[in-house]
């Protein structure tokens, strides 16, 4: 009885955070999916326009997340922190896309270590690599998405990888912390969680072998680029071009063209460049995407579209801004 509308409906829990807002943005451009409940414990009772002046009266006002959860929407986007997502009880029949990490890891030790939860039966939904199955979908992490788009199509011809990743600061969310203070971020650059980040086991789980992973914080608002180093005798370009030949989302760039943050910022597309090191023969696969787009909200909507049987790219931003 959750669906009492003639068009599919959506609820967003945590709608005032970065991923919640971005998910809302895509729903506003979506031809089929209608946002019917905006959950935010901090903004409950306020109009949508309190979040952004352009969100006018046609949108529902914010409600408590608990209220949004029982709105009867066909799809629920969980834009919450890990603990809140882990504690969420999916209503019968609804598609639920969890943008947190709570349901990504299947290994009990890893799930407990990184997210403090027992691993569940949610489907890991990375459409180009492992399309979502069923109605409970764990949306991949932003770093994991970039690394897996670069490496999953060649996982059978490599047995390890160094993944040096760099992300804009929105990847760390909207809550206040020292590492998000502009005095730390501006004109700065540094690695963090070196060799010990929770996206490493997520990447390893999907590839089938452990990886060396170091994330860095870029002084930009949005965008993520992963430079991946692997050894292989296979033709990585051929495998990657073949994997994404029909994709409306992932672009393999011509030889010699390098991915750039600026070309994917604000979009749900990803760019992949493939190179060979002249001195060592190491294969270098670079993937660029927007941490809030293909790395979060865009992929969440893409997963929801697939689960609901809609056009995969409905609501996605695939053209982008040229400058």
178 touches a second copy by CB under 8 A: yes
| Site residues (CB under 8 A) for a second copy, limited to 10-39 | 18, 21-22, 24-25, 28-29
275 touches a second copy by CB under 8 A: yes
Separation between Cα atoms, residue 62 and residue 64, nearest integer Å: 7
96 touches a second copy by CB under 8 A: no
Residues in the chain: 323
Exposure on the CB side of residue 74, measured as CA atoms within 13 A: 18
292 touches a second copy by CB under 8 A: yes
Separation between Cα atoms, residue 288 and residue 12, nearest integer Å: 27
Which lies closer to a second copy via its Cβ, residue 94 or residue 99?
99
What's the token pair of residue 125?
């939904």
Which lies closer to a second copy via its Cβ, residue 28 or residue 44?
28
Separation between Cα atoms, residue 27 and residue 10, nearest integer Å: 8
91 touches a second copy by CB under 8 A: no
| Site residues (CB under 8 A) for a second copy, limited to 184-243 | 184-192, 194-196, 200-201, 204, 210-214, 216, 218-223, 225, 227, 229
* Distances in whole angstroms, Cα of residue 96 to Cα of each of 136, 268, 290, 300: 5, 20, 22, 10
We find the least distance from the C-beta atom of residue 42 to a second copy, in angstroms, to be 11
What's the token pair of residue 80?
């919450």
Question: Which residues touch 254 (CB under 8 Å, ≥6 apart)?
Answer: none
Residues noted as catalytic: 142
77 touches a second copy by CB under 8 A: no
Count of residues touching a second copy (by CB under 8 A)? 87
Q: Report whether 79 contacts 14 (CB < 8 A).
A: yes
We find the least distance from the C-beta atom of residue 122 to a second copy, in angstroms, to be 23
89 touches a second copy by CB under 8 A: no
Which lies closer to a second copy via its Cβ, residue 46 or residue 123?
46
47 touches a second copy by CB under 8 A: no
177 touches a second copy by CB under 8 A: yes
Separation between Cα atoms, residue 252 and residue 245, nearest integer Å: 8
We find the least distance from the C-beta atom of residue 286 to a second copy, in angstroms, to be 6
287 touches a second copy by CB under 8 A: no
| Site residues (CB under 8 A) for a second copy, limited to 138-167 | 160, 162, 164, 166
Separation between Cα atoms, residue 19 and residue 256, nearest integer Å: 33
What's the token pair of residue 113?
């270590």
Q: Report whether 303 contacts 122 (CB < 8 A).
A: no
182 touches a second copy by CB under 8 A: yes
We find the least distance from the C-beta atom of residue 132 to a second copy, in angstroms, to be 25
323 touches a second copy by CB under 8 A: yes
Which lies closer to a second copy via its Cβ, residue 135 or residue 294?
294
We find the least distance from the C-beta atom of residue 37 to a second copy, in angstroms, to be 18
We find the least distance from the C-beta atom of residue 253 to a second copy, in angstroms, to be 6
* Distances in whole angstroms, Cα of residue 42 to Cα of each of 63, 127, 307: 9, 32, 30
5 touches a second copy by CB under 8 A: no
Residue 101 burial (10 A CB sphere; 0-12, 13-18, 19+): buried
């Amino acid at each position: 009885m959750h669906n009492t509308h003639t068009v599919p409906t959506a609820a967003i829990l945590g709608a005032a955070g970065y991923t919640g807002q971005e998910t809302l943005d895509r729903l506003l451009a979506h031809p089929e999916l209608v946002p019917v409940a905006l959950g935010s414990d901090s903004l409950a009772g306020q109009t949508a326009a309190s979040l952004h002046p352009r969100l006018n009266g046609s949108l529902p006002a914010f409600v408590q997340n608990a209220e949004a959860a029982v709105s009867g929407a066909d799809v629920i986007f969980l834009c919450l922190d890990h603990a809140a997502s882990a504690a969420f009880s999916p209503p019968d029949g609804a598609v639920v896309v969890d943008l947190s990490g709570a349901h990504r890891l299947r290994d009990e030790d890893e799930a407990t270590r990184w997210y403090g939860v027992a691993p569940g039966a949610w489907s890991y939904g990375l459409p180009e690599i492992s399309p979502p199955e069923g109605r409970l979908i764990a949306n991949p992490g932003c770093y994991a998405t970039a690394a897996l788009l670069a490496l999953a199509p060649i996982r059978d011809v490599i047995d390890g990888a160094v993944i040096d990743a760099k992300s804009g600061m929105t990847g760390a969310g909207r809550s206040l912390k020292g590492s998000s203070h502009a005095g730390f971020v501006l004109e700065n650059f540094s690695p963090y969680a070196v060799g010990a980040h929770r996206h490493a086991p997520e990447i390893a789980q999907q590839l089938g072998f452990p990886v060396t992973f170091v994330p860095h914080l870029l002084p930009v608002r949005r965008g993520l680029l992963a430079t991946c180093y692997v050894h292989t005798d296979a033709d990585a370009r051929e495998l990657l071009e073949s994997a994404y030949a029909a994709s409306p989302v992932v672009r393999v760039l011509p030889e010699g063209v390098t991915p750039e943050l600026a070309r994917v910022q604000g979009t749900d597309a990803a760019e992949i460049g493939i190179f060979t090191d002249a001195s060592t023969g190491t294969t270098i696969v670079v993937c660029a995407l927007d941490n809030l787009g293909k790395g979060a909200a865009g992929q969440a909507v893409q997963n929801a579209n697939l689960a609901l049987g809609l056009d995969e790219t409905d609501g996605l931003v695939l053209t982008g801004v040229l400058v």
